[in-house]
């Protein structure tokens, strides 16, 4: 496999080179580059950006520091008009630089672009979902490199519900919160401990992720939307050295599913403008910025509903599903497909379900095996060579786990929302198309032997729900989801049979 190449944005260079403490993810990225000898580039346009600095001394220092990186040169004859045609309006000089970086990524000069600029991530996604997946935050780039070059048997990370008082105030998860928010200790004691607030925590060598939640009503909320039943995310924190493991996405998934199943009307969270990756994640899943307070604190709100989702005619169905996640619609002739998946791949994508047999065993012995539903990420990628085609973005995917050593066996266990399907014709292309969602190592990807003669199908999707309990083969046949022998390839599910299948599952909303 050809070593992947990474283009870093000016904001990453500045963070690495400024006279200040470097966050763990930034230093880890540089260390991994040295260890695994993958190439990091800067773009020639980044030098132009630095040359615009009116501080002569600082400009000279920055230009000298940038020389340590290899440079990607500009494309001859590429005009601002060309960039506008591809990447949309370019109102400022920085927009032109951003579009130039995306152009280098789009033409294949590099494999990934690493930036902390939320606007650049949004611009990439507007161009195409595939390009958007190749634009990474630093922490995500670190995790992708580790997954690719340092495959390990990662522990299943549980989400556990605990009371605030059970977390020691000197736990390292609170260190940066104390630095950023004067009076944090008093807030934690008086608001969280004394009010017995519940928290979700993720354990990984100590508390790696924390979400503090609070129930509110219209009369006692800071939310602009005065809904009747409100879930406030008071604190969402991932320990700095654990960023890139998608723990923030994991905790948000927990809150989405919890709010939907428990019939909340609204979720909201407050944050600050500097939390770029968190804000990007919130907006991706339909949170709206509703207010900015005098101190710069920003309120983001997401409406939850139990009513059937009704997309308008000609709306982009995937976008509708993404913004209303975890709700989805089967109106307007939404297509649905069954995807057979082998046990080993099922275990990789859904480690929560893999472990269920162990928890059931612990429970039967009277032993507390910890939380029963560990979580993982929402945005996933599945690789296969199934010859059948899938429907348009927004189609429903039902994952059928074939005959297996451990349960669930010969059952539909998970439901996804299709984002897109692409074909990879090489291992390098396979890594690019999977983007920051890959759970496969370099060796795993090489085993596919992707080529023009035998391309690999890359299915990107959102995990919308687990089918609990899984629906087994006998019932699937009675529902006429499956007829005859268990499926070996992707199969389409008739619309009327899909409705019958979903009607028996508690999703927290009407179909």
Give the CA count within 13 Å in the CB-facing half-sphere of 15: 20
Angle, CA 206 vertex, CA 201 and CA 207 arms, to 5°:
25
Record the pTM.
0.83
pLDDT along the chain (511 residues), means of 10: 80 63 76 87 84 81 80 92 94 92 94 93 92 91 82 54 93 87 91 94 86 95 95 92 79 92 95 89 96 94 95 91 96 90 88 60 38 59 88 96 92 96 92 76 87 94 93 94 90 91 91 88
The H-or-E segment that residue 139 falls in is: helix 138-149
Burial class (CB in 10 A: 0-12, 13-18, 19+), 281: buried
Q: How many angstroms separate the CA atoms of 393 and 320, rounded?
A: 10
Nearest of 509, 482, 474, 487 to residue 498 by alpha carbon: 482
Angle, CA 506 vertex, CA 503 and CA 511 arms, to 5°:
45
Chain-centre distance for alpha carbon 126: 17
DSSP per position, 347-414: HHH-HHHHTHHHHHHHHHTT---S-S-----SEEEEEE---S---STT-EEEEEE-S-SSSS-SEEEE
Nearest of 493, 501, 499 to residue 390 by alpha carbon: 493
pLDDT of residue 37: 84
Residue 495 — φ and ψ, nearest 5°? -60, -45
pLDDT of residue 388: 81
Asked if 263 and 306 touch (Cβ cutoff 8 Å), the reply is yes
pLDDT of residue 21: 53
pLDDT of residue 239: 85
pLDDT of residue 147: 79
List, as own/partner pairs, every contact residues 30-35 make where C-beta atoms lie below 8 angstroms and the sequence separation is at least 24, other chains included: 32/142, 32/145, 32/146, 32/149, 33/6, 33/145
pLDDT of residue 151: 56
List, as own/partner pairs, every contact residues 71-78 make where C-beta atoms lie below 8 angstroms and the sequence separation is at least 24, other chains included: 71/41, 71/42, 71/43, 71/44, 71/47, 72/7, 72/41, 72/42, 72/43, 72/44, 72/104, 72/109, 72/110, 73/44, 74/43, 74/44, 74/45, 74/100, 75/103, 75/104, 75/107, 78/103
- Give the CA dihedral 451, 460, 319, 12, nearest 10 degrees: -90
pLDDT of residue 52: 79
User: What's the DSSP call for residue 482?
Assistant: S
Q: Which domains does the chain have, with CATH numbers?
A: 5-149 (3.40.50.1010), 159-303 (3.40.630.30), 336-503 (2.30.130.30)
- Cβ burial 135-155 (10 Å sphere, 16+ → b, else e): bbbbbbbbbbbbbbbeeeeee
pLDDT of residue 360: 44
Name, in order, each residue with C-beta under 8 angstroms of 478's C-beta and a sequence gap of 6 or more.
none
Give the CA count within 13 Å in the CB-facing half-sphere of 502: 27
pLDDT of residue 357: 47
Q: How many angstroms separate the CA atoms of 198 and 206, rounded?
A: 18
User: What's the DSSP call for residue 479?
Assistant: T
As beta bridge partners, residue 215 has: 231
pLDDT of residue 327: 96
């Amino acid at each position: 496999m050809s070593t992947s190449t990474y283009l870093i944005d000016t904001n990453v260079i500045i963070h690495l080179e400024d006279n200040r403490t470097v966050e763990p993810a930034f230093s880890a990225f540089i260390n991994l580059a040295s260890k695994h000898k993958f190439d990091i580039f800067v773009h020639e346009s980044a030098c132009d950006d630095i040359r615009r600095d009116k501080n002569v001394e600082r400009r000279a220092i920055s230009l000298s520091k940038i020389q340590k990186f290899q440079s990607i040169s500009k494309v001859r004859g590429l005009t601002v008009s060309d960039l506008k045609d591809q990447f949309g309006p370019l109102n400022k000089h920085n927009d032109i630089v951003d579009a130039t970086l995306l152009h280098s990524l789009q033409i294949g000069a590099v494999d990934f672009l690493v930036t902390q600029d939320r606007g650049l991530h949004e611009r990439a996604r507007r161009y195409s979902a595939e390009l958007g997946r190749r634009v990474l935050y630093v922490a995500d780039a670190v995790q992708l490199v580790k997954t690719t070059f340092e495959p390990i048997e990662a522990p299943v990370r549980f989400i556990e519900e605990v009371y605030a008082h059970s977390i020691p105030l000197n736990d390292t998860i609170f260190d940066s919160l104390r630095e950023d928010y004067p009076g944090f200790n008093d807030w934690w004691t008086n608001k969280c401990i004394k009010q017995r607030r519940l928290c979700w925590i993720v354990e990984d060598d100590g508390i790696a992720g924390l979400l503090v939640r609070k129930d509110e009503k219209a009369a006692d909320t800071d939310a602009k939307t005065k809904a009747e039943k409100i879930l406030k995310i008071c604190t969402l924190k991932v320990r700095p050295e654990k960023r890139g493991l998608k723990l923030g996405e994991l905790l948000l998934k927990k809150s989405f599913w919890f709010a939907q199943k428990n019939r909340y009307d609204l979720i909201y969270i407050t944050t600050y403008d500097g939390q770029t990756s968190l804000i990007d994640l919130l907006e991706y899943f339909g949170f709206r910025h509703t207010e900015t307070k005098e101190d710069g604190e920003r309120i983001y709100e997401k409406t939850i509903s139990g009513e059937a989702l009704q997309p308008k005619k000609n709306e982009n169905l995937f976008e509708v599903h993404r913004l209303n996640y975890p709700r989805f619609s089967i109106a307007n002739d939404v297509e649905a497909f069954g995807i057979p998946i082998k046990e080993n791949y099922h275990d990789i994508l859904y480690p929560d379900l893999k472990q269920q047999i162990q928890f059931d065993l612990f429970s039967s012995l009277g032993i507390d095996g910890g939380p029963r539903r560990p979580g993982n990420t929402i945005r996933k990628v599945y690789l296969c060579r199934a010859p059948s085609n899938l429907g348009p973005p927004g189609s429903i995917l039902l994952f059928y786990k074939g005959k297996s050593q451990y349960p669930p066996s010969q059952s539909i266990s998970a439901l996804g929302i299709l984002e897109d399907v692409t074909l990879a014709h090489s291992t390098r292309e396979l890594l690019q198309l999977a983007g920051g969602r890959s759970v496969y190592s370099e060796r795993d990807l090489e085993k596919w032997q992707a080529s023009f003669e035998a391309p690999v199908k890359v299915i990107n999707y959102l995990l919308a729900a687990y089918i609990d309990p899984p629906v087994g083969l006998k019932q699937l046949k009675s529902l006429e989801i499956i007829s005859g022998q268990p499926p070996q390839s992707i199969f389409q599910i008739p619309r009327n049979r899909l409705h019958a299948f979903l009607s028996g599952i508690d999703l927290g909303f009407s179909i």
